[in-house]
Structure 1
């Protein structure tokens, strides 16, 4: 019984999140969607003012665009026909 409880507790733990891709010189200029923003891997200069060395980093600033919508998700129709109404084929009656 204790073993079954331990197994259930281990299975109930949340899965580890996927780590974001590392920004390296090999992928400079590529874009990735992170937290709803289209981030770009680019070289950032360091300096004494920022206290950081030169490095490659993801640019996800406020001027970056939002990620495009997922193309696999179908958009809903702008209108829905009324239920129970049938429009027959053909032209107007005379």
Structure 2
């Protein structure tokens, strides 16, 4: 009689914890989260919006200082652009012509009349 109760109690305690999260390769994501995008050689160069940043899939060198092997990783550095809504069209509409050209018609002498004080 003891065994079914302890098994039922263990099942009762473990099911809500497992239902609330998905475990993918050691990382825990919220329940309805989309799966993490894979960055590999076949997807090198693609971009994806991760945490509000437009991240790029790239090959990064590892090393003893970083403590990582060579491999493909998401580049979501501080210099990457955000992936918010697209900016408005930057081309402004043409301005209306407010300054009209002045057309002078030649006078009978061939030159336009000069203001007083400017003689020929």
Given candidates 32, 39, 49, the residue that maps to 1:16 is 32
Query: 1:29 and 1:19 mapped to 2: Cα distance?
Result: 19
Which is bigger in relative contact order (C-alpha 8 A, separation at least 6)? 1
| Counterpart position of 2:65 | 49
TM-score (norm 1): 0.56
Alignment length, in residue pairs?
Answer: 60
Q: Runs of 5+ in structure 1 lacking a partner?
A: 1-9, 71-94
Structure number with greater Rg is 2
With over 3 angstroms needed to count, the CA separation of the structure-2 counterparts of 1:48 and 1:17, relative to structure 1, is same
The Cα RMSD (Å) is 2.3
Runs of 4+ in structure 1 deviating by more than 6 angstroms, as ranges, are none
Instruction: Give the C-alpha shift of residue 17 in structure 1.
Output: 1.0
Q: How do 1:1-94 residues align onto structure 2 when only pairs under 5 Å count?
A: 15-69=31-85
Q: Runs of 5+ in structure 2 lacking a partner?
A: 1-15, 21-29, 87-120
